[in-house]
Amino acid sequence: MKKISFFLFLFFSFNSYGHEFNPAHLILNEESDTSYSVRLFYPQQYKNNAPQILYPTNCKTSSISKSSNTKNIIENYSLTCIGDIKGRSIRFENLDFLTDALLSINFIDGSSYESIAGSRNPEINIPLRQSVYPFAYFNLGFDHLLKGIDHIVFLICLIFLVTGFIHLVKVITAFTVAHSITLSLSFLGIVSISQSVIEALIALTIIFVALDAIDNKNKKFPWYYAFGFGLLHGFGFSGALSEIGINNNELALSLLFFNIGIEIAQLIVIPIPFFMIYFLNDNKIFKNIKYFLILLIGGIGVYWFLDRIIGIFF
pLDDT average, residue stretch 187-216: 85
Please say if the pLDDT value at position 153 is more than 70: yes
> According to the model, what pLDDT value does residue 21 have?
57
pLDDT average, residue stretch 215-232: 80
Please say if the pLDDT value at position 197 is more than 80: yes
Which of 38-42, 161-165, 174-178, 288-292 is the least confident region? 161-165
Surface-to-core class of residue 288, CB atoms within 10 Å of its CB (0-12 exposed, 13-18 middle, 19+ buried) = exposed
Nearest of 284, 266, 105 to residue 292 by alpha carbon: 284
Biggest CA–CA distance in the chain, Å, is: 72
Pairwise CA distance, residues 209 & 37, whole Å: 48
For the chain, strand residue ranges (E) read 24-30, 35-43, 52-54, 59-61, 65-68, 72-81, 89-93, 101-106, 112-117, 123-125
> According to the model, what pLDDT value does residue 2 have?
47
Residue type, 236: G
Please say if the pLDDT value at position 216 is more than 80: no
Nearest of 293, 239, 306 to residue 17 by alpha carbon: 306
CATH 2.60.120 fits 25-133, yes or no: no
Kindly list the domain boundaries of the chain, sorted by start residue. 2-19+148-313, 25-133
pLDDT average, residue stretch 117-146: 80
The helix/strand/coil state of 8 is helix
pLDDT average, residue stretch 187-206: 87
Nearest of 181, 197, 266, 304 to residue 231 by alpha carbon: 181
pLDDT digits (tens, 9 = 90+) for 41-78: 888 877 777 888 999 999 999 999 999 877 788 999 99
Is residue 168 a contact partner of residue 275, using CB atoms and an 8 Å limit? no
> According to the model, what pLDDT value does residue 277 have?
74
> According to the model, what pLDDT value does residue 218 have?
57
Q: Strands 24-30 and 101-106, how do they pair?
A: parallel
pLDDT digits (tens, 9 = 90+) for 3-33: 445 444 454 444 444 445 567 889 999 998 8
> According to the model, what pLDDT value does residue 222 have?
81
CA 33 to chain centre: 36
> Is residue 133 very low, low, confident or very high in pLDDT (cuts 50, 70, 90)?
low
Is residue 75 a contact partner of residue 66, using CB atoms and an 8 Å limit? yes
Report the range out of 64-73, 127-136, 279-288 with the highest average pLDDT: 64-73
Please say if the pLDDT value at position 36 is more than 90: yes
pLDDT average, residue stretch 113-123: 83
Please say if the pLDDT value at position 126 is more than 80: yes
